């Protein structure tokens, strides 16, 4: 028999390491060729690692959540033969391990202790300890409501004769054990009012969850953005009554192969027209090199909630897409992001981002910029509010836009001009469709 070492694959794009997010096998498991062994994640995508050989798993080289360098040993598989090099290198960058003399030394089996043949001696009765002589560490231990109090038979008999419910007595002995002095202190306090059962109980359980995979990537990205970018957030009300009427009319007349329109495709078209006038907002900032890159193309990232966490698929070249085309691409990318089939290039390269919580959008948000971009537009929920038209209050559909900007690149004045221009286009939606 021989051994085969599978190493962390080179996932491309200059990535030097990846996070192990899932094991599909454990030591002792049989594996077959092309069977998925593990999944690793970069900041772009999740990559599955298949087995290039048949065999049995001997050793795992990392735990879920560990960061593993490219070409570092990931696991070892026992195979038939002498572990000779394979004719073709596997996608997982596997290499044969050294032969038997290079194997890890086998761990000795732990020796189980044998029970003693001598019968245990009966412990001598403990001397009573005065309350003032107790150790400071022996403090009262809280007891769960359904837990049976700890006490000796003598203490239980005395409590029964005195009509004392031991569940009402606080024990000061080890592990909350109740002693005679605890009964004395309880009797000295006098009768206690009975506590009526409420069906409610204190909960003391805790759960520790290791932050791994997509959640770790999100945490790292948010920390980077919040720590490096001085945010300025600008909030403005937008009357979308006319836009909502137009959207309803277009949806009623749409063709069978056309997607249902939401407000986002209209916002994307409004942003495209506005970014043509303010190129500083459609940009990224390399703060290490001190370089701002402006883009003629508008690649809009759409923050999308998925079972794995927040993902930002990118609608590329929004400047060349109609409202209908934008809606179709939005639907396609959102579905791919949620079911985990989005390609790596569909999850990177955005120049500005939209974030929307839909009906949960709240009144105001303070969105965090998608580093290294310099702006993000946040969509809040639409609500009917009374608006004064000069003679009376009329119901109008109002939506807030909460937009954040990198204050190192975008001045407050420019941020306000950007949002006000989008407001004008959304409140007069016919302007969105006028070219030139």
Q: What is the CA radius of gyration of the chain?
A: 34
Spot the catalytic one: 34, 43, 165, 411: 411
Q: How far apart are CA 194 and CA 97, in angstroms?
A: 71
How many CB atoms are closer than 10 A to CB 386? 11
Cis (ω within 30 of 0) for the bond into 242? Answer: no
As a 3-state breakdown, the chain gives helix, strand, coil percent values, each rounded to 5, of 30, 25, 45
Tokens 């400071």, located at residue: 136
- Respond yes or no: is residue 411 known to be catalytic: yes
Mind giving me the DSSP string for 283-346? EEEETTTTEEEE-SS--EEE-EEETTEEE--EETTGGG--HHHHHHHHHHHHHHHHHT---GGG
Q: How far apart are CA 74 and CA 6, in angstroms?
A: 6
Return the closest-CA partner of residue 278 out of 119, 415, 76. Answer: 415
Spot the catalytic one: 24, 180, 317, 407: 407
| Contacts for 266 with CB less than 8 Å, ≥ 6 apart | 243, 247, 323, 426, 429, 432
Q: How far apart are CA 318 and CA 118, in angstroms?
A: 84
Q: How far apart are CA 128 and CA 154, in angstroms?
A: 13
Query: Strands 375-388, 94-96: parallel, antiparallel or unpaired by DSSP?
Result: unpaired
Tell me the catalytic residues: 407, 411
């Amino acid at each position: 028999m021989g051994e085969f070492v599978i190493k962390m694959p080179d996932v491309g794009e200059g990535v030097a390491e990846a996070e192990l997010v899932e094991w599909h096998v454990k030591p002792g498991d049989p594996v077959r060729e092309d069977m998925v062994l593990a999944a690793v994640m970069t900041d772009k995508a999740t990559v599955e690692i298949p087995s290039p050989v048949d065999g049995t798993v001997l050793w795992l080289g990392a735990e879920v959540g560990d960061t593993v360098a490219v070409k570092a040993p990931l696991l070892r598989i026992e195979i038939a033969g002498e572990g000779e090099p394979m004719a073709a290198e596997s996608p997982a960058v596997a290499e044969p391990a050294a032969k038997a003399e290079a194997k890890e030394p086998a761990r000795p089996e732990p020796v189980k202790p044998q029970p003693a043949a001598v019968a245990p001696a009966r412990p001598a009765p403990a001397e009573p300890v005065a309350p003032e002589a107790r150790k400071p560490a022996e403090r009262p231990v809280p007891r769960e409501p359904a837990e049976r109090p700890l006490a000796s038979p003598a203490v239980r008999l005395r409590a029964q004769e005195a009509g004392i419910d031991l569940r009402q007595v606080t024990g000061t002995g080890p592990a909350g054990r109740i002693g005679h002095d605890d009964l004395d202190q309880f009797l000295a306090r006098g009768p206690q009012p009975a506590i009526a059962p409420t069906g409610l109980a204190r909960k003391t359980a805790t759960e520790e969850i290791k932050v791994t995979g997509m959640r770790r990537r999100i945490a790292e990205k948010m920390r980077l953005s919040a720590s490096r970018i001085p945010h300025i957030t600008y909030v403005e009300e937008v009357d979308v009554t006319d836009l909502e009427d137009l959207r309803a009319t277009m949806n009623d007349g749409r063709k069978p192969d056309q997607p249902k329109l939401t407000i986002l495709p209209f916002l994307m078209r409004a942003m495209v027209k506005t970014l043509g006038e303010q190129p500083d907002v459609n940009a990224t900032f390399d703060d290490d090199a001190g370089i701002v890159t402006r883009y003629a193309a508008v690649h809009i990232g759409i923050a999308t909630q998925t079972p794995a966490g927040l993902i930002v698929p990118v609608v590329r070249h929004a400047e060349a897409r109609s409202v209908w085309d934008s809606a179709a691409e939005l639907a396609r990318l959102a579905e791919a992001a949620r079911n985990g089939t989005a390609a790596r290039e569909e999850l990177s390269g955005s120049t500005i981002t939209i974030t929307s919580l839909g009906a949960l959008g709240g009144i105001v948000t303070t969105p965090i910029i998608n580093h290294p971009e310099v702006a993000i537009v946040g969509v809040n929920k639409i609500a009917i509010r009374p608006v004064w038209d000069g003679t009376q209050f009329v119901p109008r559909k109002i939506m807030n836009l909460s937009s954040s900007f990198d204050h190192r690149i975008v001045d407050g004045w420019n941020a306000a001009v950007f949002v006000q221009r989008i407001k004008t286009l959304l409140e007069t939606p016919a302007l969105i469709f006028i070219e030139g």
